[in-house]
A and B are shown apart, each in its own frame.
Chain A
């Protein structure tokens, strides 16, 4: 009487075990991989990121490719040799920026890649003028304002890959020469006003950078560390770059922060955030 149920239990258990492990001849059970972005194509896989937080790498995009968006925006005019770059956040605020990066040695073809570049920026008004005027309105009812910000930068970066080929190292030299940093407000009704000028902001820095593919190109970690000889300050930065083949989001923090001293009270920011959201275009997927 009892043997029949025991035999049924064994048969049921055996059936469960068989169900748990499909026979070799069966088709694999589909796995839901929707959380993993599509595998990047060769073009995407080869030359990214072109920039860390503040360090342009020796990588240059392939001809016709580029990034466009909020923050880092660039286009490769000549294949792996020449990029034109701007930062749309700065452009939007009223400081137009144009940069060119020239590839000297391609890191994909040589052990060490090398790129040099230059950048110029110039204030043209816009939001930054409006912003300064609004700040000034705390001192006077109606104001005119003028912002004069300009300067240039030159840089050179060597890049190479670590043994694992997931980690890339960068060593850069950067020179920044502000030409003018002046904010002026005028009370156009009652008269009077004032100006604040920031002087001696030149910088010579040596920067060390690392980017590491944590999860392929889907998630890339970035670190920077360096020293500003003229400002006698250490520079640090960390960021993550994540997204799909086309849409990328980069967020990072830099040390030191920024001290503002436009008006009455100085305000210290412990860290300086950096942000970029861009769309990668050009080339096949």
Chain B
């Protein structure tokens, strides 16, 4: 057993003292990701983040109450507006992107877009239940000359798990 794992094992024992419940609530937030579309003469540009692992892999035994994507998008292009289609995929089907939101940015405009999805079939919800999330941005400009565009975002997941019949940890304090 490596020292790290040894300490982790001790930690697990320590954590036992805090347990004892019939419901567990999870609030998980990714770190902020920054995706940049470089300036070019093209009319469209597609870029994705690659796999984003959430701080805790929730697994399928939890019920996701909401998955929230909090995005700040800035179009640094002073001439052309741009339309962005935001989609997501999960680690179980990494190339199967499903649309999450569509928005437009005027020249030099910054927008804060918050997408909250709660239905189990919503793309963000299914994505955040897998091991990793991949976010793709499809940017389109009516005229040649796209970018620079910057996307800064976080993903937050609220979930819970009912644990009827458990709660043994509560007895440890007696």
Pairwise interchain contact A264-B59, C-beta atoms closer than 8 A? yes
Q: Which residues of B contact A261 (CB under 8 A)?
A: 19, 24, 161, 163
Do most interface residues of chain B lie in helix, strand or loop, or is the interface mixed? mixed
- Say yes or no: is B42 at the interface (Cβ < 8 Å to chain A): no
- Say yes or no: is A144 at the interface (Cβ < 8 Å to chain B): no
Pairwise interchain contact B4-A272, C-beta atoms closer than 8 A? no
Interface string of B7-29 (1 = CB under 8 A from A): 11011111111111111111111
Pairwise interchain contact A131-B15, C-beta atoms closer than 8 A? yes
- Say yes or no: is B167 at the interface (Cβ < 8 Å to chain A): yes
Q: Which residues of B contact A198 (CB under 8 A)?
A: 18-21, 23-25, 169
Instruction: Decide: A260 near B16, CB < 8 A? Known: A132-B11, A200-B21, A233-B168.
Output: yes
Interface string of B26-54 (1 = CB under 8 A from A): 11111110000000000000000000011
We find that the number of chain B residues with CB closer than 8 angstroms to chain A is 47
- Say yes or no: is B92 at the interface (Cβ < 8 Å to chain A): no
Pairwise interchain contact A262-B15, C-beta atoms closer than 8 A? yes
Q: Which of A193, A258, A267 contacts B55 (CB 8 A)?
A: A193
Pairwise interchain contact A194-B15, C-beta atoms closer than 8 A? no
Pairwise interchain contact A196-B173, C-beta atoms closer than 8 A? no
Pairwise interchain contact A183-B23, C-beta atoms closer than 8 A? no
A138 to B172, CA, bound (A): 27
Q: Which of B11, B28, B30, B173 contacts A119 (CB 8 A)?
A: B173
- Of B15, B20, B174, the most chain A CB neighbours within 10 A belong to B174
Taking CB atoms and an 8 Å cut-off, the chain A residues in 254-279 that contact chain B are: 254, 256-267, 269, 272
The interface of chain A, by Cβ under 8 A from chain B, is 54-55, 90, 93-95, 97, 119, 121, 123, 127-128, 130-140, 147, 149, 151, 153, 155, 174, 176, 178, 181, 183, 185, 187, 190-203, 205, 228, 231-233, 235, 254, 256-267, 269, 272
